[in-house]
């Protein structure tokens, strides 16, 4: 199984809502990532989990809260978002390769988030 | 934040022609990767080149890396209409992945 799945595919939420994005992989990867991508822009790294521990947090506002319950699952909890947070949210996973960085990342199809 | 720049920002060619995209970066790296993205979808990994490598091939793809100039290029030979997509380089610096701005490639049949 070489697939990263993300749910939901689309999400529309109000600024007072609480929602969660989910990501799952069964490739045995021990690094998982959240990216945010605006239209016609490159993905921007938000969070990295390595061996289920948060290793990188790119100064993301606290209204985004990541969670890694186990090595296969990654969640992104959303609360009190702003309209400018509307974007494609991508999850990825990879296998850390040690001293020379990470191996290739496998991306999910993304969740298209619209904040009203 | 982005690691560097890619050029051109957009490239339009005829089927059968070669396409070359360039990527420059600012910091030292462990490896550099190229990804492809079809409109509004997830990214697909194309090729990874480590910092001690200079050139790598995969099918119709050829990647070069010049660490002294902090630059890389992706060559797609004998392009096909199905190669139409956005192409991003991504640098890995101590497990911190950064994507370039991307090149939008259009291959006309």
Q: Do the chains contact at B95 and A107, CB–CB below 8 Å?
A: no
Q: How far apart are CA B44 and CA A31, in angstroms?
A: 17
Flag whether pLDDT at B1 surpasses 50.
Answer: no
Q: Out of B42, B94, B100, name the one closest to residue A110 (CB).
A: B42
Hey, which residues does A109 pair with through a beta bridge? Answer: none
Cβ within 8 Å of residue A108, ≥6 positions away: A4, A5, A6, A23, A90, A91, A92, B42
Residue for token digits 């119709």?
B60
Query: How would residue B96 be classed by pLDDT, with cut points 50, 70 and 90?
Result: confident
Backbone φ and ψ of A106, nearest 5° = -105, 125
Q: Is the pLDDT of residue A56 over 90?
A: no
Is residue B6 scored above 80 in pLDDT? no
On whether any CB of chain A is under 8 Å from the CB of B27, the answer is no
Determine, for residues B92 and A101 on separate chains, whether the beta-carbon distance falls below 8 Å.
yes
User: What average pLDDT does the structure give for chain A?
Assistant: 91
Residue B2 confidence (pLDDT) above 60: no
Is residue B14 predicted with pLDDT exceeding 50?
Answer: yes
The answer to whether the CB atoms of A101 and B30 lie below 8 A apart is yes
Nearest-CB residue to B42 (from A50, A96, A109):
A109
Which of A56, A101, A110 shows the shortest C-beta gap to B41?
A110
- For the stretch A12-37, pLDDT in tens is 999 989 999 999 999 999 999 999 99
Rg, chain A, Cα only? 14
- pLDDT tier for residue A104 given thresholds of 50, 70 and 90: confident
Q: Do B40 and A106 touch (CB under 8 A)?
A: no
Q: Model confidence over B39-86: pLDDT tens digits?
A: 878 899 999 999 999 999 999 999 999 999 999 999 999 999 999 999
Q: Give yes or no for B39 touching A (CB within 8 A).
A: no
Average pLDDT of chain B is: 91
CB-based contact B50 A100, cutoff 8 Å: yes
Asked if the model's pLDDT at residue B5 lies above 80, the reply is no
| C-alpha triplet A21, B94, B96: angle, nearest 5° | 30
């Amino acid at each position: 199984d070489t697939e990263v799945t993300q749910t939901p595919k689309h999400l529309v939420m109000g600024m007072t809502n609480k929602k969660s994005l989910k990501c799952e992989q069964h490739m045995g990867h021990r690094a998982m990532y959240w990216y945010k991508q605006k239209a016609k822009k490159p993905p921007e790294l938000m969070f990295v989990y390595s061996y289920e521990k948060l290793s990188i947090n790119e100064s993301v506002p606290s209204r985004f809260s990541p969670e890694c319950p186990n090595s296969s699952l990654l969640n992104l909890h959303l609360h009190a978002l702003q309209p400018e947070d509307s974007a494609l949210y991508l999850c990825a996973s990879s296998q850390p390769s040690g001293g020379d960085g990470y191996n290739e990342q496998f991306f999910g199809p993304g969740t298209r988030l619209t904040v009203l | 934040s982005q690691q560097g720049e890619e050029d051109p920002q957009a490239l339009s060619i005829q089927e059968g022609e070669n396409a070359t995209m360039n990527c420059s970066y600012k910091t030292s790296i462990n490896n550099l990767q190229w990804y492809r993205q079809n409109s509004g979808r997830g990214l697909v990994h194309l090729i990874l080149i480590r910092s001690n490598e200079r050139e790598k091939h995969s099918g119709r793809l050829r990647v070069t890396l010049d660490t002294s100039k902090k630059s890389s290029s992706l060559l797609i030979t004998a392009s096909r209409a199905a190669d139409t997509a956005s192409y991003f380089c991504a640098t890995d610096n101590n497990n911190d992945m950064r994507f370039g701005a991307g090149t939008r490639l259009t291959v006309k049949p």
